Chains A and B, each alone.
Chain A
Amino acid sequence: MIEATGLTKHYGRTVAVDNLSFGVGEGRVTGFLGPNGAGKSTTMRMILGLDRPTSGDVRIDGEHYRDLKRPLTTVGALLDAKWVHPNRSARAHLRWLAAASKLPYSRVDEVLDIVGLTAVANKRAGGFSLGMSQRLGIAGALLGDPRVLLFDEPVNGLDPEGILWIRRFMHRLAAEGRTVFVSSHLLSEMAQTAQDLVVIGRGKLIYQGTVDDFIANATENTVVVRSPELDRLTELLRADGVSLVADGDAIRVSGVDSAAIGELAAANKIVLHELNPQIGSLEEAFIQLTGDTVEYTAHTDQHTAPAEPAGATEEAPPA
């Protein structure tokens, strides 16, 4: 159980996390979703006591991370797979972590086996591929058999096989009753991995709840209609106060389901060539909710020539 209340972090004048309150429940995978630069990593570092909140508080099972005894046995975290000395072997890396947590060395071989790195255990970690580094990081997170697990963008840069492995792994961990909190900027990934969502944009909480509710609330369903008598149908729909837009040789109707449109057409003897309900995509939902909170927006419809000085006042982010 992770509980954040009023969590805030300033870097100079930049506000990275802004009065963020949320909870992460046990036995579930909770996705931590937000565009790049939304403050996900900063929040995770504050949960783990690496960064000090400017104000607010975050606790794990009621305790601050820095007050935990042998913290790796309570919380396992993978924030960055590259937090390993490149000349140290995978086994040596896990052994010092185990020693620091008073865990037996036999546990090192167990977690190496769980993540499938036994064969390369004595190879230097600097030579690992991203997928192998990620597995080593997960092995480190699992070392203390913790109840709470945090992963920051674990599938970033992985091949499909690696992504699938991590996804299944998260489900297994949650099924074992652990608290799994995993961040991503990819909603499609979260939809397949998480049951609950905490969505942030520009450091502020946008949504907290289940994935299903998020999609249901945030997506707007439309129906694409094609007909040789499109003008008549348009008039009829407009008369009913339905909003619609022209889309090439079709119209896109929103706010009414396809059955109602079909019945209206039949009642007026209008031939339909297409009646196609469009289920709003997760990405659309995400963009709809976070669209105005994306910190760096690419202005695709503008010239690339130097902007006027007044337009360039956005502050530099923390590195």
Chain B
Amino acid sequence: MTLLAVERMKLFTTRSPWWCTVAALAVTIGFAALMAGTADAQAPLTVAATQFGYNFGLVVVMVMAGLAITTEYRFSTMRATFLAVPNRWSALLAKTAVVAVLAGIVGEIAAFGSWGIGKLIKPGVDLTLNTAYEWRAVAGVGLVYAVAAVVAVAVGVLVRHSAGAISLVLIYNLLVEGLIVLIPNVGPKIHKWLPFNMAHQFVTGNPDPTGRDVNFGPPLSDATLGPWAALAYFAGFAAVLLVIALAVANRRDA
């Protein structure tokens, strides 16, 4: 508990988490406002449509998580941390937990904020969360953000440089998974099992019974696992990456 408190103090006595939180909320909720404002009979506002911007918020949250760890390396406060807490596993796990919880909270505020602004702009549209799918599409965003933050922290521990770690995470998330689909024959088969596609499956999988058009919400995932299995898969990927990163940090010279 002490270490969690320490990492919380460290995180909130710097500015980047605040800015990233503001940016993540602005991007997601702003996008939802745009969707709600432009909705009409051809493109109706749905629960899924309010979450169109969740992937942009995800990117900002991963930048925040990556910065939280790499700035510690940049200013050598990681060394100061290891002097105060020589058990590097505990120190880094505490940091990961605090960053993941912040990412999760940002995700929930972003998702429910997006949903709320949809209701506000289009009071006539029924946006009630009735089905398990609709709950996942909104409340699930926080879980995905939290796990994605763990991925970013793990990469940050391994790479240690802000620019390197953040570009690696973003290029992978935004480009690599999408480009692998383009490989003939095997591409789509591999893509089904890629971690961020799995995260996407959790949020958009088993879509609402109305069988909405892809344009009326985030594009659907091609993963075949069930939504909760997909989230477990994504979390497992993050956990493996984190264990590798922490083992490396424990062995390496600080």
Contact = CB atoms under 8 A, between A and B. Distances in A.
B78 to A, nearest CB: 9
A85 B84 contact: no
Nearest to B78: A83
A92 B6 contact: no
Interface residues of B, number: 26
B60 to A, nearest CB: 19
A68 B86 contact: yes
Contacts of A252: none
Nearest to B87: A66
Given A48-B83, A50-B82, A68-B86, A85 B6 contact: no
A66 B71 CA distance: 24
Most buried by B among A52, A65, A96: A96
Most buried by A among B9, B71, B82: B9
A85 B253 contact: no
A102 B3 CA distance: 10
Contacts, number: 74
Given A45-B253, A100-B3, A85 B83 contact: no
Interface in B188-242: none
Interface string B64-101: 00000001100111011111111100000000000000
A99 B76 contact: no
Given A52-B253, A99-B5, A99-B9, A82 B76 contact: yes
A85 B71 contact: yes
Nearest to B252: A52
A12 B237 CA distance: 33
A48 B87 CA distance: 12
A82 B154 CA distance: 25
A68 B87 CA distance: 10
B13 interface: yes
A71 B71 contact: no
Contacts of A140: 80
B85 A100 contact: yes
Nearest to A88: B13
A50 B83 contact: yes
Interface of B: 2-3, 5-6, 9-10, 13-15, 71-72, 75-77, 79-87, 251, 253-254
